[in-house]
């Protein structure tokens, strides 16, 4: 390794009143042009480490000891004015949630000019525009984005803008905090490929915090594994993740749901806050496609027609179009989010709908959950068109179909206790009093949360995994026929992700609940799903049994999704870089 640009020595950080250190005696070195991936689950200390290095900790946190030297200068003892001068010029951060990091009421162009003017002292409008244009070209952002507000951009485009903003000052050190969480695999690969190219071109050192082992394996030279505030294993990325030594690293690797292999069944980690456990690999059920020919690649079992139950829900020739914004109403174009889609949801099975952002999968989920209506075709329930049902029957059907949303932090009302949140799933006509509380307690037990500990808690006292379990309990409390889960685990750690998926599989096995899993994570699909539907540009392009589609994909788009999915190194792998 060449001479280090960044040297962290014996760094410790504590939080007031916690009694324990969030970061304890951490040390590592990173050379210019090299990258260190810091991995670990929630609570491991990796984000506190990152913010401690940049002196961006909250008031409740204190750096208790250690040093962070950038080219020999200790950032922790640097006077505040000098540290401000270093930020953006020598040190920059790419934050996790670009939507929250970017000012929502300022256009992108103004945001970038503000950084140049106030952080980098670029006063000339002409010079600022030149640097902005150059940087947008480097991160592959079209110039039209400059006039847009952050909420008008896709998640991937917002993250590119965040990356451009961070690199405007050509920093020597880039600190990156979970930059692609919740992005689909194709957009994720595009952004990370570009980040790697920029690092090679600009030669900055990078510390990359992530819980995604596959991403770190593919994009970082070295890796440090954190547990309870300490680095428990470190070394060349491919070597550590191919042949882990520490039991915790081995557990993370074995739990990782890679698209090219199912996870191995594991016991829960002792003391894990969310009952972290792997999911047993579920054998893929052969599923036949019936209905009209839409041109999709289909894998059909010879005996499937004899064993499949009738669909609980089905979309027939379903389309959903929207009028584009802007212009006069009679001249607005119509955009087809979903086109001519046939989908059958059967009791006792897990169906995954996969695809990149904009593929139409979430729109299909809303059509199935009846929070939206098709503009063409129809939704059928037990063979009957939903539009033909009376108001009372539709209300009953809506209770039979429950939704689990993506973000566990937004899915629950912060004012409600867990008991009240779960009881919402019973609806206003559900049983009162003791029976209601009994059903809520049973639902919590099903998702492995102790009612005695959790009934009176509010969401601010729950971890991300616990919140998603509560959201799942709310969906399960009325014993629905169908659960539509839209990216339910994308923001969770690997082992917590798998434990939530295991609970969905348990609902399928014990209650016969049909699960529609909307996801971009093909490793997740491999772990628990029976049948896959692949969508692109609003259409179904391939469908079939899980193992068949993932091991022998036929459509080029499916092949591209699989190729873009992060994977752990296997025998013969070489370090990234």
pTM of the predicted structure, to 2 decimals: 0.79
- Asked if residues 517 and 485 have their Cβ atoms less than 8 Å apart, the reply is yes
224/242 Cα distance (integer angstroms):
14
pLDDT tens-digit readout, 3-50: 799 999 999 999 887 788 999 999 999 999 999 999 998 788 999 999
**281 has pLDDT over 70:** no
Confidence category of residue 298, pLDDT binned at 50, 70, 90: very low
pLDDT tens-digit readout, 188-238: 898 899 999 999 999 999 999 998 899 999 999 999 999 999 999 999 999
pLDDT of res. 184:
83
DSSP string, 190-221: HHHHHHHHHHHHH--EEEEEES-HHHHHHH-S
What would the mean pLDDT of 238-267 be, rounded to a whole number? Answer: 81
- Asked if residues 327 and 501 have their Cβ atoms less than 8 Å apart, the reply is no
pLDDT of res. 330:
54
Neighbours of 329 (CB within 10 A): 6
- Asked if residues 522 and 362 have their Cβ atoms less than 8 Å apart, the reply is no
151/43 Cα distance (integer angstroms):
30
pLDDT of res. 217:
93
What would the mean pLDDT of 169-176 be, rounded to a whole number? Answer: 94
pLDDT of res. 78:
95
pLDDT tens-digit readout, 443-472: 999 998 999 999 999 988 887 778 888 999
**292 has pLDDT over 60:** no
pLDDT tens-digit readout, 117-140: 988 888 898 999 999 999 999 888
pLDDT of res. 560:
93
**63 has pLDDT over 80:** yes
pLDDT of res. 118:
85
**272 has pLDDT over 90:** no
Confidence category of residue 296, pLDDT binned at 50, 70, 90: low
For the record, the structure tokens of 133 come out as 């244009």
pLDDT of res. 262:
61
- Residue 500, helix vs strand vs coil: helix
Instruction: Please give the domain boundaries of the chain with CATH numbers for all domains.
Output: 1-90+171-256 (3.40.50.300), 102-170 (no CATH), 297-564 (3.40.50.300)
pLDDT tens-digit readout, 316-349: 999 999 876 555 555 556 788 899 999 999 999 9
pLDDT of res. 327:
52
182/184 Cα distance (integer angstroms):
7
């Amino acid at each position: 390794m060449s001479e280090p640009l960044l040297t962290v020595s014996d760094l410790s950080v504590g939080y007031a009143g916690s009694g324990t250190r969030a970061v304890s005696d951490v040390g590592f070195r990173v050379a210019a042009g090299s990258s260190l991936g810091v991995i670990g689950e929630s609570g491991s200390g990796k984000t506190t480490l990152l913010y401690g290095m940049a002196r961006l900790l909250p008031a409740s946190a204190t750096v208790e000891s250690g040093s962070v030297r950038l080219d020999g200068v200790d950032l922790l003892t640097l006077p505040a004015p000098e540290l401000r001068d270093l930020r953006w010029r020598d040190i920059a951060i790419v934050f996790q949630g670009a939507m929250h990091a970017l000012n929502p009421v300022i256009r992108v162009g103004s945001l970038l000019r503000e950084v140049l003017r106030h952080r980098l002292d670029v006063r000339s409008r002409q010079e600022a525009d030149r640097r902005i244009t150059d940087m947008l070209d480097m991160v592959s952002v079209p110039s039209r984005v400059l006039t847009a507000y952050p909420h008008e951009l896709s998640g991937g485009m917002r993250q590119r803008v965040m990356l451009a903003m961070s690199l405007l000052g050509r920093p020597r050190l880039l600190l990156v905090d979970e930059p692609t969480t919740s992005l689909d695999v194709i957009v994720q690969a595009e952004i990370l490929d570009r980040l790697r190219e920029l690092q090679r071109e600009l030669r900055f050192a990078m510390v990359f915090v992530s819980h995604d082992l596959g991403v770190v394996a593919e994009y970082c030279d070295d890796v440090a594994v954190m547990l309870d505030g300490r680095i428990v294993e470190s070394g060349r990325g491919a070597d550590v993740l191919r042949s882990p030594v520490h039991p915790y690293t081995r557990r993370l690797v074995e739990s990782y749901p890679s698209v090219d292999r199912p996870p191995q069944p594991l016991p829960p980690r002792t003391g894990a806050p969310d009952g972290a456990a792997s999911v047993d690999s579920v054998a893929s059920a052969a599923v036949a496609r019936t209905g009209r020919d839409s041109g999709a690649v289909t894998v059909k079992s010879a005996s499937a027609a004899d064993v499949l139950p009738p669909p609980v829900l089905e979309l027939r020739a379903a389309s959903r179009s929207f009028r584009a914004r802007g212009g006069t109403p009679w001249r607005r174009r119509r955009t087809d989010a979903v086109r001519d889609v046939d989908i059958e949801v059967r009791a006792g099975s897990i169906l995954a709908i996969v695809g990149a952002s904009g593929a139409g999968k979430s729109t299909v989920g809303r059509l199935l959950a009846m929070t939206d209506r098709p503009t063409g075709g129809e939704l059928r329930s037990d063979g009957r068109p939903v539009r033909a049902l009376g108001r009372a029957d539709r209300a009953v059907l809506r209770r039979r179909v429950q939704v689990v949303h993506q973000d566990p932090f937004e899915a629950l009302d912060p004012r409600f206790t867990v008991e009240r949140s779960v009881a919402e799933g019973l609806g206003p006509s559900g049983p009162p009093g003791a029976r209601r509380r009994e059903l809520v307690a049973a639902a919590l037990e099903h998702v492995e949360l102790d009612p005695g500990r959790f009934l009176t808690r509010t969401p601010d006292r729950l971890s991300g995994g616990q919140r998603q379990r509560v959201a799942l309990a709310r969906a399960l409390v009325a014993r629905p026929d169908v659960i539509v889960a839209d990216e339910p685990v994308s923001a969770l750690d690997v082992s917590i992700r798998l434990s939530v998926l295991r609970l969905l599989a348990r609902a399928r096995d014990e209650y016969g609940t049909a699960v529609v899993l909307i996801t971009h994570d093909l490793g997740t699909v491999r772990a628990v799903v029976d049948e896959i539907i692949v969508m692109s540009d609003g259409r179904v392009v391939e469908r079939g049994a899980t193992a068949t589609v993932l091991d022998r994909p036929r459509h080029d788009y499916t092949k591209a999704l699989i190729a873009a999915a992060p994977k752990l190194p296997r025998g013969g792998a070489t370090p990234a870089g």
